[in-house]
Amino acid sequence: MIIVLKPHPTAEMIRHVVARIEELGFTPHLSQGVARTIIGVIGDEDRLQAEPLRAIEGVEQVVPILKPFKLASREFHPEESIFDIKGVKVGGGHLMMIAGPCAIESEERLVEIAEKVKEAGANVLRGGAFKPRTSPYSFQGLGEDGLKILKAAGERFGMPVVTEVMDPRQVDLVVDYTDIIQIGARNMQNFDLLKEVGRTRTAVLLKRGMSATVKDLLMSAEYVLAQGNKQVILCERGVRSFEDSTRNMLDLSIVPNAKGQSHLPIIVDPSHATGRPDLIPAMARASVAAGADGVHIEVHSCPEKALSDGPQALLPAQYARLMDELRQLAEIMGKTIDAAEGVSV
């Protein structure tokens, strides 16, 4: 349920409504837009129906939210959310361009790749320190040593960094080193992990599960939002299908679909979706054309020596050509790509 306040409410009026909601045993979530102030009320809506909420001073309208995801819905937050992460914005026409290797292998290798993707126009550096692998014998990541390398590279090149967390016990450690916490596809419905990252105030990149519906993805986002962390970025990375010529099936319909239901930004990862460098550029362009708020691409300077997912990584020169194309497409569509320092290019 959402409570719409009358135009230009006073701070005291807002405090009174929030206090009354809490007295009734419900959790309020305040959203102040340009024209309206809305308070989302989380709890048993059947109980709320019996309360005279419209009689509270300053309340203009009480509207039930029919969707199971309340805080992620357009009803609660009609305008698109825009998040600013160290000067890099995502949402509302700002494109987040994430690039880097699948796994952090060494300081020398990461610095080499970071320099190239930064020159090409990427504004967020990615790299995995903890790697969820299908085989227990595959490279599992460098752990905290990898996090230290990633943070140092981000500071050196002035780029926010994103890395994956796999376990609730890792969250505090990862928050010390990263600007965006990635929840991978395998953990999209790890609800204890979602609640733990929701208690932080670090932005969250939430990847769609391999068999998850749009509703499933938004319900997972709701777990994070319900804990107070409002910065959730959705990510489409392909779903399982019968097709075996690509790693997964890229579902671009999710972009306008999710945007119609939710205010949260959504980006696309064509690297994991296709698993093929020859398809990544076309799918990246298609993602931006579909309205995505950015793309997430794996780049490696020597894919044949990569310790993880080398076959799906673009070379730095390939990524630079793609970024030139995406800048032109963004300009046509009236979107901007913020440089890592926060300057639009």
pLDDT tens-digit series, residues 181-201: 999 999 999 999 999 999 999
User: Distance between terminal CA atoms of the chain?
Assistant: 41
Q: Name the more confident of 30 and 91.
A: 91
Residues of the chain with CATH 3.20.20.70: 83-337
Residue pair 107/149 in contact by the 8 Å Cβ criterion: yes
The two tokens of residue 30 are: 């305040």
Structural fold of domain 83-337: TIM Barrel (3.20.20)
Taking phi over 0 as left and psi of -120 to 50 as alpha, with beta for the rest, 128 belongs to: beta
pLDDT-above-70 percentage for the chain: 94
Confidence of residue 342 (pLDDT cuts 50, 70, 90): very low
Confidence of residue 180 (pLDDT cuts 50, 70, 90): very high
Q: How much is the pLDDT for 345?
A: 43
Residues 6+ apart with CB under 8 A from 134: none
CATH of domain 2-63: 3.30.70.1140
pLDDT tens-digit series, residues 226-240: 999 999 999 999 999
pLDDT tens-digit series, residues 34-82: 778 989 888 776 666 656 788 888 899 888 877 889 999 998 888 999 9
Residues of the chain with CATH 3.30.70.1140: 2-63
Residue pair 268/255 in contact by the 8 Å Cβ criterion: yes
